[in-house]
Amino acid sequence: MEALAVRLSHLDSQAEGAIRVVMFYDTLMRRRVDLPALARASAVLAECVTGIRLHSTGRAIRVSSDGREASTPPSPASTTASITLDEEEIGTVWLERSSTPGSLDELMLDRLALAAAAVVERYGPARTTMADPALVELVISSDSDEAARARALRLLGFAADLPVRVIAVRSQLPLDKIGCLVCPGRPVKAAPLADVGVILATREDLARFPAGVRAGIGAAESPDRSWREARTALRFTTPREPVIRYADLGALSLLAEIPQDTARENTDVAAIVRLADNPEDLETLDAYCATGSLRRAADLLHLHHSSVSRRLEQIGKTLGFELTQPTGLVRAGLALTTWRLLDG
């Protein structure tokens, strides 16, 4: 490949040079090279810094004429061309030539842009947020080997050096809409999997989750472990706290490991089961456990604190312990959370 580039750089005939440029990129496309290899070959051919940038990632690949990553600060582009896929501009290619643009520079960039579009179409990232569920399952499955996982991530459009966050979602809203909202301007893919939606993202913004969405966000770097964490965090969500990061659960995540039969046999959890028949009492207890204060719970419920106090006194009798004591508050909070985890 380098030998061909050297010969092309010494051609005198512009027509023959143009044919050779076309043949050069046809060869690269037949070899199914990726974007970094395409940039390296083009930089050697052009004998100047060559760049490729995709709008979906915002990251630029810049390679100098020796085929290595360019270490110099970016210079103004001497020639540019748009990468177009399905009649949509998805990126840009350019040359940073310090001298006058060469006679074949425009042709070369046209071919480079076509080759880059072919790479994107073959390996990703695709323009849509919705992804093939089979690929997503390969990424998050504990049965996948690392090679298969890496290939699936590449096909989905995620760069190898970027960590991928896994989010488990339950919502009536379209998954692609949620994905675009919580991860604007960055790679994000979504797919339904069994009873839960899966979103793969490089970064997420908790404040952008729309109302009505329940979401658990994994913390681990490994996607399969992050998926398990995301499913666990989703189980802890409530109407009051609909989006939860697994990392924020801390020791509470251990409650998800308790066998359900064991949890049901616990006297405090059994008392919460009985209390659940009265939604008003359950809401009062939830507000008190969330705030740890009678007056703040009253503010949250829009009630007078004396009314909340009477309710808590009655709830304490049902539970069998004093709620206003520190140990009582801890017991109630653990029992309430454990009850919510029953049956998912």
- Helix ranges (H only) for 124-203 are 133-140, 146-156, 175-182
Kind plus residue range of the DSSP H or E element containing 122: helix 105-123
Positions of the chain with pLDDT under 50: 8, 126
Q: Domain of 315?
A: 258-341
Whether residues 187 and 164 share a domain: the answer is yes
Render pLDDT for 203-239 as a digit per residue (tens, 0 to 9): 888 889 999 999 999 999 999 999 999 999 999 999 8
Whether residues 232 and 268 share a domain: the answer is no
Whether residues 19 and 119 share a domain: the answer is yes
* Inter-axis angle of helices 305-319 and 294-301, nearest 10: 110
Q: What whole-number distance in Å separates Cα of residue 313 and Cα of residue 201?
A: 46
Whether residues 138 and 242 share a domain: the answer is yes
Whether residues 10 and 117 share a domain: the answer is yes
Q: What whole-number distance in Å separates Cα of residue 306 and Cα of residue 323?
A: 15
The sign of the CA dihedral 75, 76, 81, 87 is positive
Cβ-proximal residues to 278 (8 Å cutoff; 6+ apart), any chain: none
Whole-model pTM over 0.85 = no
- Of 206, 225, 256, which residue sits at a domain end? 256
| The pLDDT value given to residue 6 | 55
Whether residues 40 and 86 share a domain: the answer is yes
Task: Indicate whether 128 belongs to any domain.
Answer: no
| The pLDDT value given to residue 124 | 58
Q: What whole-number distance in Å separates Cα of residue 228 and Cα of residue 166?
A: 9
| The pLDDT value given to residue 50 | 96
| The pLDDT value given to residue 56 | 65
Q: What whole-number distance in Å separates Cα of residue 184 and Cα of residue 180?
A: 5
Whether residues 152 and 165 share a domain: the answer is yes
- Of 102, 123, 144, which residue sits at a domain end? 123
What is the total count of domains within the chain? 3
- Of 256, 290, 323, which residue sits at a domain end? 256
Task: Indicate whether 6 belongs to any domain.
Answer: yes
